[in-house]
Amino acid sequence: MIAERDSITQEELVLNLGPQHPSTHGVFRMVLDLRGETIVGVTPHMGYLHRGFEKLAERRTAVQYQPYPDRWDYLAAMFDEMAYIGAGEALIGIEVPPRAEWLRGIVMELNRLSSHLLWLGTFLLDVGALSPFLYTFREREMILDLLMELTGARLTYSYLRFGGLAHDAEDLWLKKVKAGVRYFRRRFREYRDLIDENEIFRRRVQNIGVIDRDRAIRYGLSGPMARASGVAWDLRRGRPYGIYRQVEVPVITREKGDTWSRYEVRMDEMEASLGLLDVFLDSVEAGPVMAKVPKNIKFPDGETYFSVEGPRGELGVYLVGDGTAHAKRMKIRPPSLFNLQALSHLLVGHMVSDAVAILGSVDIVLGEVDR
Amino acid sequence: MKKEVVPVGELLERVQDYLEQGYTFPVVHTAVDHGESLELIYVLRDLENPGREERILSVQISSDNPTLPSLTPLIPGLIFQEREVYDLFGVTYQGHPDLRRLLLPDDFSGHPLRKHYTATEGGIVG
């Protein structure tokens, strides 16, 4: 009997996880080398959702390309739009009217909430907690309803334009958002009560998947992944853009760098987003939402890098123009792809069941990883 | 945006310098196809000092048989970015620990982000 057990623990087993697996959050595939139940090696495979968005940007004109960024990270499309439109505006030199900037802030923070809510539900589902999923999806649907009322779409909004927004928001809609913020605040207390002190959850995430500060920086981690390891960096504070130049954004950090810290950072970020929404809703001023821009947008000679703090980290666009309506080159910096670089460091030495919890805490979206 | 043009022979040395000065965060790495030459872009940031601007390095290499040293041994956060540029532009990085295609299938032929690329080259018909 003992001899048999030894042979099981010593034999190396290759386990393929994904691309069709509910815990990989999309079409992500990783090959785990196991000794017993312990992970000794990880090989990630991506590209199953590659649609060539960077090439498409060279084949479409600037205006034609406007709906495409929504499809990069379909859970946080407003940030993709902001990154692309913002890069174009920086290259061309377009000034955006103040009301458009305020409204961009509002839709982005709403989108951050909806993205984090989806992460929260599925992450807890991964570690075996079923009910929070139902709660977070209820609230997420309310946010999507608000965004749908404004833009006509639940996920792929196409709301931002070079120079402003597609159309103005009505006062009634802003009132609804305000009421929504009050409602969500109550709900968040409910989430914390439901999840924080849960013994099973704590044991499954505390001290699991630790990455230290120095490594987090050298691996290029950003967003909640980096802030959970003590990197006090938020682009909304460090490289403010749009309306974030006028408001004070709290940078939420934790020191430990484990899965629990990443959970805490995202939970606090949601509350910070509610605080920002309050400020935005109180400060939004009347006025036009579109600057005067030519109908046929052309990218001048030159290049620029513009990045926004998305729910997953630094989402950047490196844009090269050559005087035509087409981009000469448009490169997307996808935060999830950089965050995945730390995956084997996070997983090796842990159990298979931890792999699912750790991957959940990285919060990847394959539309963005593969582009 | 201020670019700093670096000859390919001095790249490793220059990057090593910047790493020692604190520019340790890899922001982005990519290539631009200029026809005759390929331009490789590296953006590095110092996260400790937000007041310092990003360093943007630009390296020009010949576009036929493009080769340059890999920075992954110095900056582990470039491992996927270099694989991506290899995949989509066909740039070979010397000293990269795991130079395979990142997004496209292993049996794909051609490098789609090169300007002369046509879809038939990659086996895509129609």
Query: DSSP assignment of A205-255, as one string?
Result: HTT-S---HHHHHHTT--THHHHTTT----HHHHS--GGGGTSPPP----S
How many degrees, rounded to 5, is the angle at CA B62 between CA B58 and CA B68? Answer: 65
B54 domain residue, yes or no: yes
Nearest residue in chain B measured CA to CA from A329? B32
Query: How many contacts (CB atoms, under 8 Å) link A and B?
Result: 78
Chain B positions touching A304 (Cβ under 8 A) are 1
Half-sphere exposure at residue B100, Cβ-oriented, CA atoms within 13 angstroms: 12
Contact A352, A32 (CB under 8 A): yes
Interface test with A, best of B5, B28, B79 (most A CBs within 10 A): B28
Q: Provide the terminal-to-terminal Cα distance of chain A, rounded to the nearest Å.
A: 51
**Smallest Cα–Cα separation from B79: which of A301, A343, A328?**
A343
B88 domain residue, yes or no: yes
**pLDDT tens string B23-72:** 999 999 999 999 889 999 999 999 888 888 889 999 999 888 888 999 99
Distance CA A321, CA A303 (A): 6
Helix (H, G, I), strand (E, B) or coil at A321: strand
DSSP-derived secondary structure for A89-126: HHHHTPPPPHHHHHHHHHHHHHHHHHHHHHHHHHHHHH
Chain B positions touching A371 (Cβ under 8 A) are 103
- pLDDT by 10s per residue, chain A, length 371: 445 555 555 678 888 887 777 666 778 888 999 888 889 999 999 888 898 899 889 888 998 898 999 989 888 999 999 999 999 999 998 989 999 999 999 999 999 999 999 999 989 988 888 888 898 999 999 999 999 999 999 899 999 999 889 988 889 999 999 999 999 998 888 888 888 888 888 888 888 889 999 999 999 999 999 999 999 999 998 889 989 988 889 999 998 899 999 999 999 999 999 999 999 999 888 889 898 888 888 899 989 999 999 999 999 999 999 989 899 999 999 999 999 999 989 999 898 888 888 988 888 888 888 88
B93 domain residue, yes or no: yes
Distance CA A140, CA A129 (A): 18
**Residues 6 or more apart in contact with residue A313 via CB below 8 angstroms:** A221, A222, A223, A224, A225, A226, A335, A336, A338, A339
Query: Across the interface, which of B32, B79, B103 has its CB nearest the CB of A47?
Result: B103
Contact B31, B40 (CB under 8 A): yes
Output the domain CATH number for residue B35: 3.30.460.80
Query: Across the interface, which of A217, A316, A328 has its CB nearest the CB of B24?
Result: A217
Contact A143, A114 (CB under 8 A): yes
How many degrees, rounded to 5, is the angle at CA B100 between CA B95 and CA B103? Answer: 135
B126 domain residue, yes or no: no
Q: Which helix (H) or strand (E) holds B45?
A: strand B37-45
Distance CA A324, CA A288 (A): 28
Mean of the pLDDT values across residues B3-10? 88
CA distances from A71 to A45, A68, A272, A339, B76 (A): 20, 6, 26, 20, 28
Any A CB within 8 A of B18 CB: no
**Residues 6 or more apart in contact with residue A55 via CB below 8 angstroms:** B112, B113
CB contacts under 8 A, B 59-78 vs A, are 75-78
| Residue contact B76–A218, C-beta within 8 A | yes
Position A29 scores a pLDDT of: 87
Q: Any long-range contacts for A24-33 (C-beta under 8 Å, 24+ apart)?
A: A24/A359, A25/A122, A25/A359, A25/A360, A25/A363, A25/A364, A25/A365, A25/A366, A26/A364, A26/A365, A26/A366, A26/A367, A27/A366, A27/A370, A28/A359, A28/A364, A28/A366, A28/A369, A30/A343, A30/A355, A30/A359, A32/A347, A32/A352, A32/A355
Q: Provide the terminal-to-terminal Cα distance of chain B, rounded to the nearest Å.
A: 40
Query: Across the interface, which of B28, B79, B105 has its CB nearest the CB of A318?
Result: B28
Chain B positions touching A223 (Cβ under 8 A) are none
Tokens matching residue A330: 């448009």
**pLDDT tens string B62-118:** 888 888 999 999 999 999 999 999 999 989 999 999 889 999 888 888 888 888 887
Chain A positions touching B50 (Cβ under 8 A) are 233, 237-239
How close A87 comes to chain B (CA, Å)?
A: 12
Distance CA B86, CA A283 (A): 47
Contact A237, A249 (CB under 8 A): yes
Position A1 scores a pLDDT of: 43
Interface test with A, best of B5, B25, B41 (most A CBs within 10 A): B25
Interhelix angle A98-126/A77-92, rounded to 10 degrees, is: 140
Nearest residue in chain B measured CA to CA from A227? B47
**Residues 6 or more apart in contact with residue A268 via CB below 8 angstroms:** A252
Position A6 scores a pLDDT of: 56
What range does the domain containing B48 cover? 4-118
B125 domain residue, yes or no: no
How close B65 comes to chain A (CA, Å)?
A: 20
Position B119 scores a pLDDT of: 67
Topology of the domain covering A53-364: Cytochrome-c3 Hydrogenase; chain B (1.10.645)
| Residue contact B32–A305, C-beta within 8 A | no
Distance CA A40, CA A8 (A): 15
Distance CA A165, CA A290 (A): 6
Query: Across the interface, which of A221, A233, A370 has its CB nearest the CB of B103?
Result: A370
Omega within 30 of 0 (cis) for the link into A19: yes
Task: Tally the domains of chain B.
Answer: 1
Distance CA A249, CA A240 (A): 9
